[in-house]
Amino acid sequence: MRLFGWGRKKQNEQTANPAEQTGAPQQANAELDQATPETAAETVTKTATDGPAQPSPPAPSDLSPTDETNPTSQTSQTNQPRLSWTQRLRQGLAKSSSRLGAGLTSLFSGGRIDDDALEELEDQLIMGDLGVEPAAKIVAELRRQRFGQEASNTEFRQALAGIIAEMLEPVAFALDIKDQHKPHIVLVTGVNGAGKTTTIGKLASQFQAQGAKVMLAAADTYRAAAVGQLQVWAERASVPIVTGAERADPAAVAYQAVERARAEACDVLIVDTAGRLHNKADLMAELQKIVRVIKKLDDSAPHDTLLVLDATTGQNAINQVKTFKELIDVSGLIVTKLDGTARGGVIVGLADRFGLPIHAVGVGEAMEDLSPFDPQAFATALVDLD
């Protein structure tokens, strides 16, 4: 059986785009109930069909209100050295790890692992956005493994990273596209600004590079510029895209896209959706309708329903999962913007709380800034170990 996706082992072999993103993180409007009003339409520049080493498409204006008319990406193509994915992850997680790492250095400079150290550790983990329950579990496990033992600071961190990686291991699944579904339909959901469209662009380009025949569906017809933004990514990845008229019924766009993807024997169809509608009920009704309509053509679809989460929203990401899970059948998570936040530890909370697969993490805006979730690399980077 042919399978597109990323083997997790491949992760460390991936090389990076020299165009490192340098932009400041953008704070998404993470509260489902507090959607901000629509802002000015974004300008979309068409680029020639690019390879992966091109800059990212423009940021949506609602996330960059001070720079609404500037369509240029925040990435730059300087002569920066190519970094491995692990280096990019470390670089991306620098804010999270320096917060946690500084705490770990001050709380334990070596010696016996005692009650004081463990108590202090629990506080640090909570401050690192891992969540209260996961922090307690981690400390209990460390106590079980190492209480009373002598350890250097590095050994202490290694033990901690090992425990965190073990907690994350059960949720690390690559997103695989199996050819028993033609097309394999991936529905991408999440609140506005979470990184859905960007993630779709990255996925499309990576699947395409592996030889999969990819199609995109622009079922976010709510925001005028949303279709254009996805079109830029489609061009960049050289994949076809199905669009509808502005304010067209998103479910109708999805339906047409499934038909066309079938007719063209595509391996994978990735459906973009709106992150914001008039209110939360509308948003959820729309997502449910898209699912219903897709099922008319293939009742096993969508084969993946991804929820994209912005790590900068910290514990709010937990609430988003709860809300979406109540209304649609979320099959897996993708966590973006780990590069822009000290709150990367939230991944541990997500894993512990929901047990949903975490398929991939994003550490920037460029094509290559998305990779399968590797618990060991993540945990090592999070506790600031080399």
Q: Which residues bind Mg ion (CB under 5 A)?
A: 196-197
Shortest gap between Cβ of 221 and ligand GTP (angstroms)?
Answer: 11
Q: Which of 197, 221, 243, 313 binds ligand GTP (CB under 6 A)?
A: 197
Shortest gap between Cβ of 276 and Mg ion (angstroms)?
Answer: 9
The 30-69 site mask, x for binding ligand GTP (CB under 6 A), equals --------------------------x--xx-xx------
Nearer to ligand GTP among residue 142 and residue 274 (C-beta): 274
User: Which span sits near ligand GTP by CB under 6 A: 102-110, 284-292, 296-304, 356-364?
Assistant: 356-364
Q: Does 372 bind ligand GTP (CB under 6 A)?
A: no
Q: Does 363 bind ligand GTP (CB under 6 A)?
A: yes
Q: What does 63 bind: Mg ion, ligand GTP, none (CB cut-off 5 to 8 Å by kind)?
A: ligand GTP
Q: What does 340 bind: ligand GTP, Mg ion, none (CB cut-off 5 to 8 Å by kind)?
A: ligand GTP
Q: Does 365 bind ligand GTP (CB under 6 A)?
A: yes
Provide the β-strand partners of residue 215.
Answer: 269
Give the residue from 220, 230, 198 showing the smallest Cα distance to 336: 198
> Phi, psi at residue 90, to the nearest 5°?
-60, -45
Nearer to Mg ion among residue 200 and residue 301 (C-beta): 200
Q: What does 128 bind: Mg ion, ligand GTP, none (CB cut-off 5 to 8 Å by kind)?
A: none
Give the residue from 12, 356, 325, 56 showing the smallest Cα distance to 335: 356
Q: Does 17 bind ligand GTP (CB under 6 A)?
A: no
Give the residue from 308, 298, 303, 300 showing the smallest Cα distance to 188: 308
Shortest gap between Cβ of 86 and ligand GTP (angstroms)?
Answer: 16
Q: What does 25 bind: Mg ion, ligand GTP, none (CB cut-off 5 to 8 Å by kind)?
A: ligand GTP
Give the residue from 357, 379, 19 showing the smallest Cα distance to 172: 357
Q: Which of 243, 336, 371, 380 binds ligand GTP (CB under 6 A)?
A: 336
CA 205 – CA 270 distance, rounded (Å)? 11
Q: Residues 6 or more apart from 39 whose CB is under 8 A from it? A: 61, 62, 65, 68
Q: Does 309 bind ligand GTP (CB under 6 A)?
A: no
| Span 221-260, contacts to ligand GTP by CB under 6 A | 226
Q: Does 117 bind ligand GTP (CB under 6 A)?
A: no
User: Which span sits near ligand GTP by CB under 6 A: 208-216, 238-246, 333-341, 343-351?
Assistant: 333-341
Q: What does 189 bind: ligand GTP, Mg ion, none (CB cut-off 5 to 8 Å by kind)?
A: none
Q: What does 208 bind: ligand GTP, Mg ion, none (CB cut-off 5 to 8 Å by kind)?
A: none
Q: Which residue is nearest to Mg ion (CB)?
A: 197
Shortest gap between Cβ of 340 and ligand GTP (angstroms)?
Answer: 5
CA 106 – CA 102 distance, rounded (Å)? 6
Chain residues in the site for ligand GTP (CB under 6 A): 21, 25-26, 56, 59-60, 62-63, 190, 192-198, 220, 226, 275-276, 308, 336-337, 339-340, 362-365, 369
